[in-house]
Structure 1
Amino acid sequence: MKTILLVPTGEGVGLTSACLGLIYALECQGIKAGFLKPFSQENTTEPDRTTALYRHISQQETVEPISYINLTKQLNNGDTDELLEEAVSLHRQIAKKHDIIIVEGLVPNSRDAFVSELNASLAQALDAKVLFISNADINKPCQTAEKVEAQLRHFGGAFSTRTIGVLFMRTKGLSEDSAQIPVTMDPGLRLVDEIENFTAEIHKTHSQIGSTQFPIIGLVPFSNTLSVPRVSDLATQIQATWINEGQAKQRRVLHSSLIASNIEHELHKFVAGELIVSASDRIDVLLASSLATSNGIPLAGLVLTEHHAPNPLVLDFCQIAIKNGLPILHTPLSTFDTAQNLSTLSNEIPVDDTERADQVTRFVSSHIDPEWLTLILNGDYKPRLSPSAFRHELVQKSIAAKKRIVLPEGDEPRTIEAAAICQSRGIAQCILLAKPEAVAEVAKARGIELPHDLEIIDRELIIDQYVAKMVELRKGKLDEIQAKEQLQDTVVLGTMMLALDQVDGLVSGAVHTTANTVRPAFQLIKTAPEYSLVSSIFFMLLPDEVYVYGDCAINPDPDAQQLAEIAIQSADSAKAFGIDPRIAMISYSTGTSGAGADVEKVAEATRIAKERRPDLLIDGPLQYDAASVESVGKSKAPDSKVAGQANVFIFPDLNTGNTTYKAVQRSANVVSVGPMLQGLNKPVNDLSRGALVDDIVFTIALTAIQAEQQATK
């Protein structure tokens, strides 16, 4: 069991972010990483912040740290050995279920003089390797190195067998371009040249730091975007009360502006993400903020200072802004004191800010040296396809595919944001079917930066070139007038572009039904020659493994022949995405324990699938628990090579499949990617109408990979 202890050189170095980023980087290497914070330094009964964030990021359990009261009590009583034994006990509880443990060390501060010594003792008690976490300034290499060296002394120096390197966080002095936020872990963001140059400067005074024995494993830039708080995080800091809380937990403060002069000279400050700070008697500022919100500009919020809260009659004029969620606070502090307090707000991630935690985790992991990780792991681990690894592979494969994906819902806000992300990260070349001015308006209102090479096509300008070709494709089914009318539907238009090989794939469904998305594909794209039907799968990202569920979206009641084909399609799709398929044909009965038409259909489908594809591991009928739970599988189907370890689940009908996937998704809080359609000549994929931006990004990536696979068949 490998254990890495992260030791910070001081306060505010980003220790929590470093822990989460390293765990995510390991997950993307297929390594199941546990987390342990043995000791709390917060004198509170609240749950530990880092531990709670780890649970969210990894969807795994861990133990709570030893409380600060118990920590100081035992140290004061001279019970250091007993304290370390407790820490070892916590470590062993986690070690049972993980390949490697990341341990968060204590933070040196002016209050706790015992920190450095206890960190050193902890490293010994857990037999842990030590990774140092420090902040850095590119323009101050000597001072940066001195902070690390001060802690190194407690662990035998840079050449000790226990010390393994340093990760520099919140690095100042780097270009703004280096602080881009990845969709998933992207080793391509690593600042290789910058690390080399910075190491050379450090070596002028501290030759050990950055050496082969003690490497710099990453240089993580300081990011203004990732350091921004939500409006809800400000209230306590400025002693404020809520006039309207609104979307305070969703809106982030990218900048703050004091409004002091005449309003006509301050209007340029009313932009997306801005926190407006003004005296509460400035009714014009309140009304301007309300008008900006009504015009679709998502201000971060409004802070009214001094005096008293505004008159309710004034607030009546702002009801549209209030209904649109504009957070409004009032503080008795002066405008100057409010600004001072805001400037000293902590950079630490609040325990409930899971969105920011997700982004910071990906950002940090993308700057960690993967070769260093491989060296530390030393090939002793059995890789598995974790959800993090699945998402990582998904994005990397789609980047390599370089495919053109058309998005018919081109003026839909989530789709625009997803397209901007995919375009900027190289996940796909996206084409939005919409009026350019409509896209620009949405982007401006939501603060979305549109990449210069993002294609936006007005359907009215291109419809005519597809009319004759659509009539030809649907010969005898419609005339030119009907074709032109149908092409007004951007999904139909996008499908025609795909049919004529002008794009490689299509993603729709954010505002359209599945039928609206799939029907044109059936009519114009049709099924692949080797298949007789189109089906769907969901990738279910469980905490430990990725499962494939099919069919949960297309075929209401497939017969045995169709069910066998769905199983084969799903197995091939699983293989294509790095999953070694073990296919369970699901029924309410396992083996021959039950009878009836439904069971017989599944049994026949299993027989057909095995006959057609003897290379696949397929078994059925199996109940869901017999397929997924090892102990149940051994009991109910002891001779099966699938029971208890299935990862591809084929449901007997749409009712069962759709119900099961939604039950698992919602009850277990599992991320599902899909539905991904299979069996078509060219890739068309449907979205849930409740899809998040990330869901759309990953579906675009799926579609790009499908297009690449079909092109290489």
Structure 2
Amino acid sequence: MTRSVYVTGIDRGDGRQVVELGVMELLTRQVDRVGVFRPLVHDGPDRLYELLRARYRLSQDPRSVYGMDYHEASTLQAEQGTDELVSRLVDRFREVADAYEVVLVLGSDFAATQLPDELSLNARLANEFGASVLAVVGGRDQPAESVRSETRNAHRAYTQLGCDVLAVVVNRVAPDDRDEIEDRLTAGMPVPCYVLPDDAALSAPTVAQITHSLGGTVLLGDDSGLARDALDFVFGGATLPNFLNALTPGCLVVTPGDRADLVVGALAAHNASTPPIAGVLLTLGERPNTPVLALAQRLAPGTPVVSVPGNSFPTAGELFGLEGKLSAANPRKAETALGLFERWVDTSGLLGLIQVSRSGRVTPMMFEHELLEQARTDRRRVVLPEGSEERVLRAAEVLLRRGVCDLTLLGREETIRKMAADLGVDLADAQLIDPATSELRQRFAEEYAELRAHRGVSVELAYDVVADVNYFGTLMVRAGLADGMVSGSVHSTAATIRPAFEIIKTKPDAELVSSAFFMCLADKVLVYADCAVNPDPDAAQLADIAVQSAATAARFGVEPRIAMLSYSTGTSGSGADVDKVREATELVRAARSELRIEGPIQYDAAVEPSVAATKMPESEVAGRASVLIFPDLNTGNNTYKAVQRSAGAVAVGPVLQGLRKPVNDLSRGALVQDIVNTVAITAIQAQVPAE
């Protein structure tokens, strides 16, 4: 029977979308095909479903997601009764349940639905669907005792109506009350209770949302600026000195359009990060003249300046009524929501309650989810030398919001903060270090000079060398001030890994440093090596690459079955290239008899069971290989790129292996998600004690 989870509440305003998104994240870690069903829907776009569809690449036909709209449901219930309404919704639900391994059901929202006893209707639907209930209670602006009573009443109501209640999530409580509420509920509830504090970044509307809601016109600003959260509103009417003192980080300045002094002052403050603002909203339909707008553009490129027709008083009323929404158009809020959910909910415990069996297939998304979860279980610190690169900053925000690891960013602090402010990126929890001015520079210069004394490196020369961000970051890793390093988005591979060769060096049991890619295909994850470092390894080096790659595969949940690739299979070919692979295979068998390995073997015989059945029917690796070792860099690099482009595989890496501590290289074309994945991999590598 299809497993289903019914997320429902007891009233409107509980911020339930955070919980629905968090549960979807959990389910997609375990299951390849997750269906979504919303029994009752309002007219207009369903922001949450559109977010789920975009984020989790859902292929479900949108027409199957919805049962019926609220007007149709209330009419049907009034004319033919609740039984008929429930019967039709059950029929629609079963169409989804028959097609998917698990279904996430999004309960009604208690918002102007015209349905009598909506809680009872949700309970009955959950029972008829055979779904377990995850109840959500809103706690905003309520004292701790009131929240406790309402939570107990919610659990009692759904239980008495026959529901299988897995847990209760209390959302939006005052941060100062969170621990007290959790203690009270833990002591008195028969099911787990998870308590989430209110988060200003989730509640805050974006500048784009404000512009749309108020019918504003964008005079200046780009998409990044419009995506900033308006964390506060500062209304300008005072003199400039008093106005500047009132500014707060992330505020939206609201001022009449004829106050050019306040517009320029606010943007100058943003330029200096004292403090960074979300943007400027001009009222009265007034606009600054062209010279003022030109100056504003130069002061704070990308920062929104928006004009609205109303005066300040009604505009203020509308602003205070706006609230941030989760949507596909604002993925940053989704990251914030997931970070909140994952921090305060025992996700492994909740997943155990849901009792969803893991799919046999491992999709790219499941693999990426697992990376983040594994890194989060034992947080490490990763240093990012390219602290002023936009993609790195955006990836850093995701990593921090999701609690994947702690981060140190290198570069001029003023430059990093200025760029973060322009992008609307929150780096409050990141450590920023400027190697040129850091008190660590002299210490690192002395250490590097000692390490490279045999090369004639003096302390004076080392003092210049360690100001380089990659050398500085690598020395931080060596000193234990960071657990790993990721660079390469704007630096060459050589610039990234040369310091590691000089400073970190190889493990005692590793002959060389090599690389591996995780190739995420539609239904499995393969490890390719070496595709980035060693041009033409000899037999001993090839054997070392195989052993290191098997360990990398096992570390990340891929059962190692090694195929030593060649242009011939078994004994069908000869020559220096084939003999090298054959010798390497025997070296691995002699050194690590517990490893399953086959070689020489062609790629098709390694991965395709039907070919393996003909060419190597007795092999336990042929047709099932998960770790593929290429004979040289030319073959490996071209193959991984061909598979990536032709088969639509997601290539995660390269992961450097063989170093005493983890240092990993990025492609200069790396996307934000690539950087997130590589940092997560580095954090996981760092969880193994350094040798």
* TM-score bin (small chain): 0.7 to 0.9
Q: Deviations over 1:202-259 (max 9, x none)?
A: xxxxxxxx532xx242111111122223211112211212222413443221212111
Distance (Å, rounded) in 2 between the aligned partners of 1:88 and 1:424: 37
Unaligned runs of 5+ in 2: none
Which residue of structure 2 lines up, in the alignment, with residue 182 of structure 1? none
The DSSP-based 3-state class of the residue aligned with 1:94 is coil
Note closer, same or farther for the CA distance 1:125–1:530 as it changes in structure 2 (3 Å cut): same
Which residue of structure 1 lines up, in the alignment, with residue 196 of structure 2? 220
Which residue of structure 2 lines up, in the alignment, with residue 87 of structure 1? 93
Note closer, same or farther for the CA distance 1:223–1:628 as it changes in structure 2 (3 Å cut): farther
Which amino acid in structure 1 is aligned with residue 509 of structure 2? E
Note closer, same or farther for the CA distance 1:288–1:666 as it changes in structure 2 (3 Å cut): farther
Does 2:198 match 1:195?
no
Does 2:207 match 1:231?
yes
Note closer, same or farther for the CA distance 1:574–1:334 as it changes in structure 2 (3 Å cut): same
Distance (Å, rounded) in 2 between the aligned partners of 1:272 and 1:374: 37
Which residue of structure 2 lines up, in the alignment, with residue 205 of structure 1? none
Note closer, same or farther for the CA distance 1:596–1:198 as it changes in structure 2 (3 Å cut): same
Aligned residues: 672
Which residue of structure 2 lines up, in the alignment, with residue 362 of structure 1? 339
Q: Deviations over 1:266-312 (max 9, x none)?
A: 01244542211111111212222342344356421111111343333
Does 2:402 match 1:396?
no
Q: Deviations over 1:159-210 (max 9, x none)?
A: x353333211212x3328x6xxxxxxxxxxxx5x63232466xxxxxxxxx5
Note closer, same or farther for the CA distance 1:336–1:706 as it changes in structure 2 (3 Å cut): same
Which residue of structure 1 lines up, in the alignment, with residue 138 of structure 2? 135
Q: How does 1:456-475 map to 2 (within 5 A)?
A: 470=448, 473-474=451-452
CA shift at 1:567, angstroms? 2.2
Instruction: State whether residues 34 and 101 of structure 1, in contact with CA within 8 Å, keep that contact through their aligned partners in structure 2.
Output: yes
Candidates 233, 240, 243, aligned match of 1:266? 243
Note closer, same or farther for the CA distance 1:330–1:674 as it changes in structure 2 (3 Å cut): same
Does 2:23 match 1:19?
no
Note closer, same or farther for the CA distance 1:272–1:350 as it changes in structure 2 (3 Å cut): same
CA shift at 1:332, angstroms? 0.7
Which residue of structure 2 lines up, in the alignment, with residue 203 of structure 1? none
CA shift at 1:634, angstroms? 7.2
Instruction: State whether residues 512 and 689 of structure 1, in contact with CA within 8 Å, keep that contact through their aligned partners in structure 2.
Output: yes
Note closer, same or farther for the CA distance 1:106–1:419 as it changes in structure 2 (3 Å cut): closer
Note closer, same or farther for the CA distance 1:246–1:146 as it changes in structure 2 (3 Å cut): same
Q: How does 1:568-587 map to 2 (within 5 A)?
A: 568-585=547-564
Does 2:319 match 1:342?
yes
CA shift at 1:573, angstroms? 1.8
Does 2:372 match 1:387?
no
Which amino acid in structure 1 is aligned with residue 107 of structure 2? G
Q: How does 1:265-664 map to 2 (within 5 A)?
A: 265-295=242-272, 298-321=276-299, 324-370=301-347, 372-373=349-350, 376-377=353-354, 386-399=367-380, 470=448, 473-474=451-452, 477-480=455-458, 483=462, 485-492=464-471, 495=474, 505-539=484-518, 547-585=526-564, 605-606=584-585, 608-619=587-598, 641-642=620-621, 646-655=625-634, 657-658=636-637
Note closer, same or farther for the CA distance 1:349–1:500 as it changes in structure 2 (3 Å cut): closer
**RMSD over equivalenced CA pairs, Å:** 4.5
Which residue of structure 1 lines up, in the alignment, with residue 39 of structure 2? 39
Instruction: State whether residues 71 and 83 of structure 1, in contact with CA within 8 Å, keep that contact through their aligned partners in structure 2.
Output: no
Distance (Å, rounded) in 1 between the aligned partners of 2:137 and 2:447: 62
CA shift at 1:53, angstroms? 2.1
Distance (Å, rounded) in 1 between the aligned partners of 2:238 and 2:437: 46
The DSSP-based 3-state class of the residue aligned with 2:338 is helix
Point out the more displaced range, 334-343 or 648-657.
648-657
Which amino acid in structure 2 is aligned with residue 478 of structure 1? G
CA shift at 1:568, angstroms? 1.6
Which amino acid in structure 1 is aligned with residue 176 of structure 2? S
Distance (Å, rounded) in 1 between the aligned partners of 2:593 and 2:147: 65
CA shift at 1:557, angstroms? 4.0
- Overall identity of the aligned pairs, in %: 34
Which amino acid in structure 1 is aligned with residue 243 of structure 2? E
Which amino acid in structure 2 is aligned with residue 133 of structure 1? V
Instruction: State whether residues 58 and 543 of structure 1, in contact with CA within 8 Å, keep that contact through their aligned partners in structure 2.
Output: no
Which amino acid in structure 2 is aligned with residue 240 of structure 1? G
Does 2:4 match 1:3?
yes
Distance (Å, rounded) in 1 between the aligned partners of 2:216 and 2:683: 49
The DSSP-based 3-state class of the residue aligned with 2:99 is helix
Note closer, same or farther for the CA distance 1:505–1:88 as it changes in structure 2 (3 Å cut): closer
CA shift at 1:34, angstroms? 2.3
Instruction: State whether residues 409 and 431 of structure 2, in contact with CA within 8 Å, keep that contact through their aligned partners in structure 1.
Output: no
Distance (Å, rounded) in 1 between the aligned partners of 2:156 and 2:289: 59
Candidates 109, 113, 116, aligned match of 2:115? 113
Which residue of structure 2 lines up, in the alignment, with residue 53 of structure 1? 51
Instruction: State whether residues 387 and 542 of structure 1, in contact with CA within 8 Å, keep that contact through their aligned partners in structure 2.
Output: no
Which residue of structure 1 lines up, in the alignment, with residue 227 of structure 2? 250
Instruction: State whether residues 12 and 347 of structure 1, in contact with CA within 8 Å, keep that contact through their aligned partners in structure 2.
Output: no
Which amino acid in structure 2 is aligned with residue 306 of structure 1? L
Note closer, same or farther for the CA distance 1:505–1:243 as it changes in structure 2 (3 Å cut): closer
Note closer, same or farther for the CA distance 1:198–1:574 as it changes in structure 2 (3 Å cut): same
Q: Deviations over 1:100-137 (max 9, x none)?
A: 43221222233331654543443233211222122125
The DSSP-based 3-state class of the residue aligned with 1:340 is helix
Note closer, same or farther for the CA distance 1:518–1:545 as it changes in structure 2 (3 Å cut): same
Note closer, same or farther for the CA distance 1:710–1:658 as it changes in structure 2 (3 Å cut): farther
Note closer, same or farther for the CA distance 1:590–1:291 as it changes in structure 2 (3 Å cut): farther
Distance (Å, rounded) in 2 between the aligned partners of 1:460 and 1:165: 49
The DSSP-based 3-state class of the residue aligned with 2:139 is strand
Which amino acid in structure 2 is aligned with residue 334 of structure 1? N
Distance (Å, rounded) in 2 between the aligned partners of 1:668 and 1:13: 43
Note closer, same or farther for the CA distance 1:658–1:321 as it changes in structure 2 (3 Å cut): farther
Note closer, same or farther for the CA distance 1:336–1:601 as it changes in structure 2 (3 Å cut): farther
Instruction: State whether residues 51 and 62 of structure 1, in contact with CA within 8 Å, keep that contact through their aligned partners in structure 2.
Output: no
CA shift at 1:17, angstroms? 1.5
Instruction: State whether residues 257 and 277 of structure 1, in contact with CA within 8 Å, keep that contact through their aligned partners in structure 2.
Output: yes
Q: Deviations over 1:509-545 (max 9, x none)?
A: 3543221122233334443343332112244567876
Which amino acid in structure 2 is aligned with residue 554 of structure 1? V
Distance (Å, rounded) in 1 between the aligned partners of 2:457 and 2:349: 63
Distance (Å, rounded) in 1 between the aligned partners of 2:237 and 2:203: 26
CA shift at 1:360, angstroms? 0.4
Which residue of structure 2 lines up, in the alignment, with residue 101 of structure 1? 103
Which residue of structure 1 lines up, in the alignment, with residue 165 of structure 2? 163
Q: Deviations over 1:390-420 (max 9, x none)?
A: 3222232345xxx7x6665577788789889
